A and B are shown apart, each in its own frame.
Chain A
């Protein structure tokens, strides 16, 4: 398929809005398209999503393909793969990018397999090899201990991109673009997946991904009571509480606040890591933080290698005293 051209972004929409990751992907896609001197297109799939097109154009897309059908209301693998297959075969992009999200990680490998090409998931950097026009895809491997750079000869080159790895453009509502409506052409009988229920975990206070201060507890917190203490501190700092994987697995903290390779990716202004050793699997979820503050009693813990400020000591003594002092200073 030597006539493959352009970069296509699979755009996710939540509650009628372009998601952050979609904005970031459009920013990254714009740059790649410029490097290739080719077009940047966006694929919007869903039910009642056509009105998103102008926003996607404002964020950098040249051409928008909209597949809008009631059957596409919920993400269902079989339906979405069929749609992606149809549009990609019609447009023949050189590159197809998706977000490393619940949808992207499910859709990308299956769609790539069907299109007889390869995919790389959870990338953090994308470049063009100018000699071959191939996409060079950087991805953390070995639980974040190493990075690999991959490429592929098959087209389109499919990749999913980790949240916050790319930067969105400043939206420009004066940008012009073309909108193409594509018929889903789905046979309802071929869709075997049913979404019975969606359960949203309750979150109190500030959403973890949006918080400018995150207080995270690790294995060393030792139990659910400790997380209550961290919540208090987070309240004082107007932030949110996160956790590494072990406390979530142990049930001390809900799964939805897990930060790391297999959890959420956050990049707050201040990240306070309490009794967190700094394993690569966890750092994969927070290394984008602007200022990491480590509190750990093991002076040799890896977290200190990533931190700007560190305190070596027992968090049980440090956290209450820290909270008290912060309150005192805030009241002045």
Chain B
């Protein structure tokens, strides 16, 4: 079973709001030194989905990421967990793209990798929240996709996916090769063992430039965008909260109940 996982390096989405700033001139987020970079959490779950299949059936996991200044201690994490190979599309020409131009580059890299049965992506990246790269890769490669998976099982030439729906889930089956986007419902991701972490030292990432994957310069990165960002801004929160007081927590609770009845909320 040959598997490919696409991951994105993002600023830690768990960072407190107070450290979040936007540069209105460039419509981009201003990185703050205290906020670390991480792998987008859904992408970590995509890695976990692939690892689970590798645990059960064996196989090879190739991880691909795209960007510039990719921190090795961030993007190498899947290697420490048991992935086999890391390919970095690391070039200024790759960045500034939208879902489509990013998917175009990733699909080109996947074609170059050649053999694959399953491709995993996170359901959406924690920064752009776009949620489209997976579907676009599948379309470019002409393979079936299943979105928002919580369980993935590989069975001879097919993959069975529990796909999250609004009120439960569906069990969907598609032939491989196929692309699966993975959601947090997959459950907890594993932690790297010390030996796994140290072993990743020996797995140096492979760097590919646009020419290496035969990408047309006009279709990658900012040049290949179909979507234009007109504006990026922070919504203003200005609700005035009335704090209900009281001697003890029990008093506060009773006062809250009285208040809610008084203003006819309950």
Contact = CB atoms under 8 A, between A and B. Distances in A.
Q: Do chains A and B touch in the complex (CB under 8 A)?
A: yes
Choose among B150, B163, B256 the residue with the greatest number of A CB atoms under 10 Å from its CB. B256
A309 B241 contact: yes
A45 B116 CA distance: 33
A138 to B, nearest CB: 9
B46 to A, nearest CB: 14
A121 B17 contact: no
Interface stretch (B180-188, B198-206, B207-215): B180-188
B29 interface: yes
Interface in A276-309: 279-281, 291-295, 299, 302, 304-309
Interface residues of B, number: 80
B260 interface: yes
Contacts of A295: 256
A63 interface: no
Contact of B170 (A122, A199, A325): A199
B241 A110 contact: no
Q: Which secondary structure dominates chain A's binding surface? A: mixed
Interface stretch (B51-59, B62-70, B84-92, B222-230): B222-230
A321 B226 contact: no
A255 B166 CA distance: 10
B73 to A, nearest CB: 23
A156 B82 CA distance: 43
A131 interface: no
B129 A302 contact: no
B131 A105 contact: yes
Given A113-B100, A147-B233, A150-B228, A102 B166 contact: yes
Nearest to B254: A325
B258 A109 contact: no
A201 B167 contact: yes
Contacts of A145: 17, 20, 234
A213 interface: yes
Nearest to B244: A311
Nearest to A14: B166
A109 B127 contact: no
A154 B174 contact: no
Contacts of B144: 77-78, 192-193
Interface string B117-138: 0000001101111111011101
A309 B264 CA distance: 13
B185 to A, nearest CB: 5
Q: Which secondary structure dominates chain B's binding surface? A: mixed
Interface stretch (A50-58, A179-187, A261-269): A261-269
Interface residues of A, number: 88
Contacts of A92: none
A323 B129 CA distance: 38
A152 B230 CA distance: 10
B98 A317 contact: no
A30 interface: no
A42 B23 CA distance: 40
Interface string B253-265: 1101111110001
Given A309-B260, A329-B258, A118 B147 contact: no
A304 B136 contact: no
Interface in B68-88: none
A305 B239 contact: yes
B184 A245 contact: yes
Given A102-B164, A262-B183, A309 B244 contact: yes
A110 B136 contact: yes
A325 B257 contact: yes
Q: When A and B form their complex, which 3 residue pairs have the shortest distance between CB atoms, in order from nearest?
A: A118-B226, A321-B253, A109-B132
9 contacts: A102-B165, A193-B144, A195-B172, A198-B168, A245-B184, A308-B241, A309-B241, A318-B256, A322-B254
Given A150-B227, A321-B249, A326-B257, 15 more contacts: A109-B134, A113-B140, A118-B98, A152-B226, A199-B169, A269-B265, A270-B266, A307-B241, A313-B253, A314-B249, A317-B250, A318-B253, A318-B256, A321-B254, A325-B253
Interface of B: 13, 17, 20, 22, 27, 29, 98-100, 103, 123-124, 126-132, 134-136, 138-140, 144-148, 150, 160, 163-175, 183-185, 187-188, 226-235, 237, 239, 241-244, 248-250, 252-254, 256-261, 265-266
